[in-house]
Amino acid sequence: MKILSLSLLFLLAASVSQGRPSITEPKLIELLTSTNLVETEADLLEKQQLSINYPDCRSWHYGVETSNIINFQTVPANCKDYVEDYLVTSQQYRHDSKTVCKEAYFYAKGLALKNDTVNVWIFDLDETLLSNIPFYAYFGYGTEKHDPETFKKWLEFGKVPELPETLHLYKNLIEIGIEPVLLTERYEELAEVTLKNLKAAGYTYWKHVLFKPNGSNTKIANFKSKERAKLVKSGYTIIGNIGDQWADFAKGRPGRRTFKLPNPLYYKT
């Protein structure tokens, strides 16, 4: 190993002393300027191919969490094992969630909160307070499409488990006087079963739970930012906001700080 790295160093030194190497066209650019196909067709083909076989699933996941890879329909088929390992086998998901929740708590605890306002914390619901991993496991960990009606039936069943790290944060924030406001894209028609589910999962107190109006087609980012604006208008201070989708923080008034939980399963707008 030592000999190898030493010779690598010599090689580097040699190439440095030779001055700037001649510039060769990078492969990616060659690919993009390919004239075999019209550009949009090539793009489509590449996208389709990446949804079946992404060369590096960890990189794919990084791209998703950082909002560089957006609008994907399903997890690339070859990343099923990666996602299962991330979420279930290795429990890395739980470790990452813990890191996010810990940072959120340290931030909140460090604030000198004024009591001349209602200090609220926005919680998203699915993949934030509750975890639908059992559902997605059934559909190839996000690699297979599912019918929205099937997902609705799963929610109506009312047995979605908690994400323990968020439950912990939730309780701790209440303890330091911050009021939880639950803001979800679930439709109001699911209110009764959702509240029951939340209580069974350990969430027994909240200031408000805000649902999307039945049948509304408003995008999550628009719906949520509007609801947050209403909260601010009624005199609340949004101290923090936690969710698993970038849409939870988009548009206006995201909160003084936002905390992004991991989610390699889907992307919503």
Are the CB atoms for 210 and 187 separated by under 8 Å? no
Nearer to ligand NAG, 167 or 191 (CB): 191
Q: What are phi and psi of 128, to 5 degrees?
A: -125, -70
Residue 3 or 112: the one with the smaller Cβ distance to ligand NAG is 112
Residue 156 makes contact with ligand NAG by CB under 6 A: no
Question: Considering only residues 15, 150, 214, 216, which one is a binding residue for ligand NAG as defined by CB under 6 A?
Answer: 214
- How far apart (Å, rounded) are the C-alpha atoms in residues 184 and 256? 19
What is the b/e burial string over 189-224, where b = at least 16 CB atoms within 10 angstroms of the residue's CB?
ebeebbbebbeebebeebeebbbbeeeeeeebbebb
Q: Describe the strand order of the beta sheet including 179-187 as a list of residue ranges.
A: 208-212, 179-187, 118-123, 236-243, 257-260
Query: By CB under 6 A, is residue 115 in contact with ligand NAG?
Result: yes
Q: List the structure tokens of 127.
A: 């993949």
Q: Does 85 help bind ligand NAG (rule: CB under 6 A)? A: no
Q: To the nearest whole angstrom, how small is the minimum distance from the Cβ of residue 160 to ligand NAG?
A: 19
Using rule CB under 6 A, residue 189 touches ligand NAG: yes
Minimum CB distance to ligand NAG smaller for 1 or for 112: 112
User: Closest approach of Cβ 116 to ligand NAG, in Å?
Assistant: 7
Q: Answer positive or negative: Cα dihedral of 63, 66, 71, 72.
A: positive
Whole-number minimum distance, CB 251 to ligand NAG, in Å? Answer: 23
Q: Please, are residues 103 and 222 in contact by the beta-carbon 8 Å criterion?
A: no
CB of 79 to ligand NAG, least distance (A): 37
Please state, in angstroms and as integers, the Cα–Cα distance from residue 94 to each residue in 108, 167, 188, following that order: 21, 12, 29
Task: Specify the residue, 139 or 154, whose C-beta has the smaller distance to ligand NAG.
Answer: 154
Shorter beta-carbon distance to ligand NAG: residue 129 or 190: 190
* Number of residues assigned to the chain: 269
- State the nearest-atom distance from the C-beta of 83 to ligand NAG, in Å: 34
Total chain residues near ligand NAG (CB under 6 A): 5
CB nearer ligand NAG, residue 119 or residue 143: 119
Q: Using the rule CB under 6 A, which residue among 188, 193, 207, 256 binds ligand NAG?
A: 188
Do 242 and 121 form a contact (C-beta atoms < 8 A)? Answer: yes
Residues that bind ligand NAG (CB under 6 A): 115, 188-189, 213-214
